[in-house]
Amino acid sequence: MRPGLRVIVYPPDAEDGRRIRADGEILGRALNPADLLKFLRRAGLDPDTVRLDDPLLIEMARRQTDRVGAGTEARAGRPRSPCHYRPDQTADRQTLGA
């Protein structure tokens, strides 16, 4: 792992995509854990050794709750969790081209 690298995964947008930022640079928009792993590889990490639940590497940004309707609970049929990437989800590593 690159020393000091900090990845921020933002809350889902209207299409459930999440903006991914590493060291202040926006890497792209991930729709699933496999997309996130692709971006982490571009940032210089080995997707085979990265743990998506590692809080020292990946920060799951939360929605601002001071705005009306800002939370995920405001979207009908959506989970209340600020994060739909779960540690028990596994990405299809073959799609990463590694």
Residue 42 covered by a domain = yes
Residue 40 covered by a domain = yes
10 CB-side CA count, 13 A: 17
pLDDT above 50: residue 19:
yes
**How far apart are alpha carbons 12 and 84 in whole angstroms?**
8
pLDDT at position 5: 84
Residue 91 covered by a domain = no
Name the domain count of the chain: 1
Residue 69 covered by a domain = yes
Domain holding 27, by residue range, is 7-77
CB burial string 10-27: b at 16+ within 10 A, e below: bbbeeeeebbbbbeeeeb
pLDDT at position 98: 38
Residue 16 covered by a domain = yes
Residue 89 covered by a domain = no
Residue 18 covered by a domain = yes
pLDDT above 70: residue 82:
no
pLDDT above 50: residue 88:
no
pLDDT above 60: residue 20:
yes
pLDDT tens column, 24-79 = 899 999 999 999 999 999 999 998 998 888 988 899 988 765 445 544 444 445 54
Residue 98 covered by a domain = no
